[in-house]
Structure formats: structure tokens, C-alpha cells
């Protein structure tokens, strides 16, 4: 999303595979080839120890955040990478500003961090459920932009991914969870209540994406109805980001003439 552009999610087809390698077989084959590139780039980032990468994942329920994380870590070494999930704030977290718990989980030099949900919950769920007044949550857009600008200035590259699914696809995934005993644990009755607020969530996401896609921390809208295309698209985005960061192996000390005996 270009900074300053207005997002209309209904303008994009969640089942689109435009720009991809081809059909499912070709796309999955291409994705498998990307893992080696991701591994090398992450190793260089870790060895360099000068920059960091923050990946923010947001989606509607059943949007594929967990599946995307599993996919990402096929190409990343767990050493030097982490996942943080942000759920209902604890009493201690509520006693601080809304960014306090998030800042503590941002990546250090050489690290990659993935946020499964994030500080954006405070302009999404909080807004939809009227947990705080509008004059509290609305200024948070600029506070978030300032927070991310600060991270970028300290050497953290930020990639924000909105996994865009259709309401029909969400229904299929919910039904699949209900029908499969091994997936039923993922389903809560409350998910159906949240589904009734689909339009409210879409409006909240559209404004958040429009207000917070910046040159320091751009949003990417990823068509996510087709999981195989989603995985390829996310891989390409991350590889292109790491290539642009261009981490380098450190030269190390001069060991000319040293022999191990």
C-alpha cells in the first residue's frame, strides 16, 4: 500500500493469483525453491548483527496467521527468530500504555520477530467492541506511526502483512474446524459472534491500513483464500525485503597464517 492511499478491500479479489508463477503445482514448486534463499539471507542478517526484521501479521479470524507463521519458519532458522502472540492484555499490561507490551517483543540486532496479531488490535478489536472511547483509540494511528518510525530509525525493517480472505472462505474454514476433530480446538462459539461483525472489522481494517501504511512500515494486502498462493506471496515479500536490507557477513579479525593443530 502506497503511503497516503485509501484502502478499499472489496477492490481486491482474495482468490487472486495474479503475478504468481502459475497454477498450484507451479506455485508450490517455486515456493519450495525460495526457502533456501530465505535461509541464507536470515543467516547473513544474524551474522551481521546490525539490522533487524519485524513481520506483523493481521487478519480476520481464520485468516491464516498460524499457517503463515509455520510457512515462514520453514525458511528461517529458529536461532535468531521469534514469534510473539498478543492476546487479551493482562492486568500488568493494562497498567501501562498500549505499546508497552509490544515494544518489549520487538527484535534485537540481527534478529527476526513475527507478531501474531500486534499493536493494531488497539485500533481494531478495541474499536469494533467499543472497549475505549473513540477519542482514545483514534489518536493511536499517529502514535503507532511514531512508534514504527522510531523502530525504523534504530535499524528495524518493518513488514506488515494483512491476509485478505473472503467471508465465504472464512465460513468454509470454520466449518472445516468443526468437522475435523483434530482442528476443533481452534473453534470457539464466540467466533460466530465475531463473524456477525464482519462489516465493522472490514471498516476498521480499511482505516488502519490507510492511516498507517508508511515508507518506514508499509502494509501489504495478500490475497489469502488460496493458501498456496499466500505462502508464495509472503515468501517473495520477505525475500525482496531482506535483499533490499542487504545484510553482509562480517569480515572478522585477520587470521592470515593461523593454523589449527
Per-residue pLDDT of the chain (261 residues; tens, 9 = 90+): 999 999 999 999 999 999 999 999 999 999 999 999 999 999 999 999 999 999 999 999 999 999 999 988 888 888 899 999 998 999 999 999 999 999 999 999 999 999 999 999 999 999 999 999 999 999 999 999 999 999 999 999 999 999 999 999 999 999 999 999 999 998 988 899 999 999 999 999 999 999 999 999 999 999 999 999 999 999 999 999 999 999 999 987 777 788 888
The contacts of residue 90 (CB under 8 Å, 6+ apart) are none
* Residue 254 DSSP symbol: -
Half-sphere exposure in the Cβ direction for 253 (13 Å, CA): 3
Nearest by Cα to 217 from 99, 54, 101: 54
For cell 534478529, what's the residue? Answer: 111
* Residue 166 DSSP symbol: -
pLDDT digits (tens, 9 = 90+) for 75-101: 888 889 999 999 899 999 999 999 999
d(CA 114, CA 236): 16
Phi, psi of 156 (to 5 degrees): -100, 120
Nearest by Cα to 46 from 105, 119, 88, 109: 109
Structural domain spans, the chain? 9-245
Helix (H, G, I), strand (E, B) or coil at 248: coil
* Residue 251 DSSP symbol: -
So what CATH class is 9-245? alpha beta
Amino acid at each position: 500500500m502506497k503511503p497516503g492511499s485509501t484502502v478499499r478491500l472489496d477492490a481486491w479479489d482474495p482468490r487472486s493469483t495474479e503475478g504468481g508463477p502459475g497454477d498450484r503445482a507451479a506455485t508450490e514448486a517455486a515456493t519450495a525453491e525460495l526457502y533456501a534463499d530465505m535461509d541464507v539471507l536470515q543467516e547473513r542478517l544474524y551474522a551481521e548483527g546490525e539490522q533487524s526484521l519485524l513481520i506483523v501479521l493481521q487478519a480476520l479470524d481464520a485468516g491464516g496467521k498460524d499457517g503463515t507463521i509455520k510457512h515462514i519458519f520453514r525458511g528461517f532458522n529458529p536461532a535468531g527468530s521469534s514469534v510473539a502472540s498478543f492476546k487479551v492484555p493482562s492486568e500488568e499490561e493494562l497498567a501501562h500504555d498500549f505499546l508497552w507490551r509490544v515494544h518489549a517483543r520487538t527484535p534485537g540486532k540481527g534478529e527476526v520477530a513475527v507478531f501474531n496479531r500486534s499493536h493494531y488490535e488497539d485500533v481494531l478489536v478495541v474499536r469494533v467492541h467499543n472497549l475505549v472511547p473513540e477519542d482514545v483509540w483514534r489518536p493511536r494511528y499517529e502514535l503507532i506511526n511514531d512508534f514504527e518510525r522510531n523502530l525504523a530509525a534504530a535499524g528495524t525493517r518493518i513488514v506488515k502483512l494483512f491476509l485478505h480472505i473472503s467471508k465465504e472462505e472464512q465460513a468454509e474454514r470454520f466449518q472445516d474446524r468443526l468437522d475435523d476433530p483434530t482442528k476443533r480446538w481452534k473453534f470457539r462459539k464466540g467466533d460466530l459472534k465475531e463473524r456477525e461483525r464482519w462489516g465493522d472489522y472490514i471498516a476498521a481494517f480499511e482505516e488502519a491500513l490507510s492511516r498507517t501504511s508508511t515508507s518506514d512500515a508499509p502494509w501489504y494486502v495478500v490475497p489469502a483464500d488460496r493458501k498456496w498462493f499466500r505462502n508464495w506471496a509472503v515468501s517473495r515479500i520477505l525475500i525482496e525485503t531482506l535483499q533490499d536490507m542487504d545484510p553482509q557477513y562480517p569480515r572478522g579479525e585477520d587470521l592470515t597464517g593461523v593454523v589449527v593443530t
